[in-house]
Amino acid sequence: MNWGWLIARVVIGLTLLGLIVLSQRFWYRAIWRSTARWPNGWLRVGARLVYLAVLAMIILATVDGMRMGRKGHLVPKDAMLTIFAGLWFSSALFSFLAVELVHGMDRLWRWAREAYARRGEPTAAVEHTRRIGDSGTGLLASRGVERLVDPSRRYFFRTASMLAGAAPFVSAVYGFAAERVNYTVMRVEIPMANLPAAMDGMTVVQLSDIHLSGYTTREEVRRAVDMANDLGADLAMVTGDFITGSHDPLADCIEEVSRLHAPMGVWGCNGNHEIYAKVEDAAQQLFAQAGMKLLRQENALLSYRGAPFNLIGVDYQRERTPSGQRTPMLSSISGLIRRDMPNILMSHNPNSFNRAAEMGIELSLAGHTHGGQIQVEILDHRLTPARFISDYTAGRYRRPLFVASTADKSTLSPSAARPDSQLYVNRGIGTVGAPVRLGVPPEITLMTLRRA
């Protein structure tokens, strides 16, 4: 058992849980203080009871959503309650962190001004006083320290706190109502090693991470499928996560996916949420009933304009066993790879790319990351939560073929004499955790294969 890995997971989990508890405590106290000013006692008590009841429902709905592999519901299944729970917890957490950041800056400012005053530097207006709470205008008279009385600073940080607290809620509403449903077609050209001349120009449409659930409706999935059909691709692929949990309608999702049309067929693979929900076999059966093919550690030989290629599909590839031990990825497909034709791999987890390139697979298609769902750009650096789970967050990546996955990065520079393996990571259609996207719109990918 890998104790270091388990301890790290426990620490991360407890830290996240602690932040959530602190954020809810923050808002609990804020609501209590606000209602304390109301003159009507019955109205005050009623408002607080309503808040507690709503919070209890939100907590139960959230726990319900986390019970991915279990049947039954803790609370009546309601899409709006699920959406509100996701919006509330995510917004309350980020709002709490933003307000605490402003408070930290305020404390740092006060400390710097005190240090400046202790050095006896000339000041414009000072007064000797006792320390007055946390208002920022008092002194530690026992130390004889002088502190500036600065109403403008108090006003600035009070206003900044209000804006910082409101911004996550406003952003969450925008991310839910606008960007979450702003389906975007990404057109990319993929230079593929060993691609026959006849296959140059072949098009592939990819959908991923649909997550038909309380966050994503069947109508929204239908719109994405219609947009994919309008692209007229030669081949269609769906790279996993059809649903989020066992209580979600897998059959409805695959029925919508079956509306995809492509001359070379519709192909798919399972994602991690099919495993969590224990519906890997059911997904495969529903695919087959709809005339599609879901590949599970399998391959299929296809051809385009007479040129053959090898399509491989795998279930979600775990990087570690439940006990924390590292497990080799793609170990079950070594006998499926062809050397006499190009190979295309559908693997939901983009972290399998290093091993795929090492094994000689020319193109991998993945999803899983959702692009982080939230992305901000600071000083030309794109920051996204997806960085915590993968180096491959969204878009196209490449590595040399047949080079060890543990090779030093300095050996991975492009070379005309050494062909590359390509990876494309789709940002997905649906969401998990929070029904929000900011800077990462849902994606339908149209890839055009080109000779490298």
Q: Does one domain contain both 140 and 17?
A: no
Q: Does one domain contain both 234 and 139?
A: no
Residue 172 φ then ψ, to 5°: -65, -45
Q: Which is more confidently placed, 65 or 34?
A: 34
User: Last residue of some domain: 55, 90, 125?
Assistant: 90
Q: Does one domain contain both 102 and 172?
A: yes
Q: Does one domain contain both 78 and 119?
A: no
Most confident of 66-75, 139-148, 346-355, 412-421: 346-355
pLDDT in tens, 427-448: 999 999 889 999 999 999 999 9
Q: How many other C-beta atoms lie within 10 A of the C-beta of residue 67?
A: 15
Q: For strand 395-400 and strand 420-425, is the pairing parallel, antiparallel, or unpaired?
A: antiparallel
Distance (Å, whole) CA 356 – CA 347: 10
Strand partners, 425: 366, 395
User: Last residue of some domain: 113, 148, 176?
Assistant: 176
pLDDT in tens, 98-146: 999 998 988 888 888 888 777 765 544 444 444 444 444 443 344 444 4
Q: Does one domain contain both 142 and 231?
A: no
DSSP for 39-73 reads: S-HHHHHHHHHHHHHHHHHHHHHHHHHH-TT--S-
What pLDDT score was predicted for residue 340? 95
Count of domains for the chain: 3
Distance (Å, whole) CA 417 – CA 405: 19
Query: Burial code of 87-123, b = ≥16 C-beta within 10 A, e = fewer?
Result: bbbbbbbbbbebbbebeeebeeebeebbeebeeeeee
Q: Does one domain contain both 151 and 300?
A: no
SS3 letters across 305-326: CCEEEEEEECCCCCCECCCCCE
Q: Which is more confidently placed, 249 or 14?
A: 249
Q: Does one domain contain both 440 and 334?
A: yes
Q: Does one domain contain both 194 and 262?
A: yes
Q: Does one domain contain both 16 and 138?
A: no
Mean pLDDT, residues 308-314: 98
User: Last residue of some domain: 176, 202, 233?
Assistant: 176
Query: Burial code of 248-258, b = ≥16 C-beta within 10 A, e = fewer?
Result: bebbebbbbbb
pLDDT in tens, 248-280: 999 999 999 999 999 999 999 999 999 999 999
The residue segments making up the domain with residue 188 are: 183-451
Q: Does one domain contain both 318 and 424?
A: yes
Distance (Å, whole) CA 216 – CA 228: 17
Q: How far is CA 144 from CA 41, 83, 127, 137, 384, in A?
A: 45, 54, 11, 14, 47
Q: Does one domain contain both 341 and 399?
A: yes
H-state helical runs in 211-292:
218-230, 250-257, 272-277, 280-289
pLDDT level of residue 56 (50, 70, 90 thresholds)? confident
What pLDDT score was predicted for residue 147? 47
pLDDT in tens, 212-232: 998 899 999 999 999 999 999
Q: Does one domain contain both 315 and 422?
A: yes
Q: Which is more confidently placed, 228 or 148?
A: 228
Mean pLDDT, residues 277-286: 96
| CATH code (residue 383) | 3.60.21.10
Q: What is the DSSP letter of 198?
A: G
What is the Cβ-side half-sphere exposure of residue 94, based on CA atoms within 13 angstroms?
16
Structure tokens at 266: 């519709």
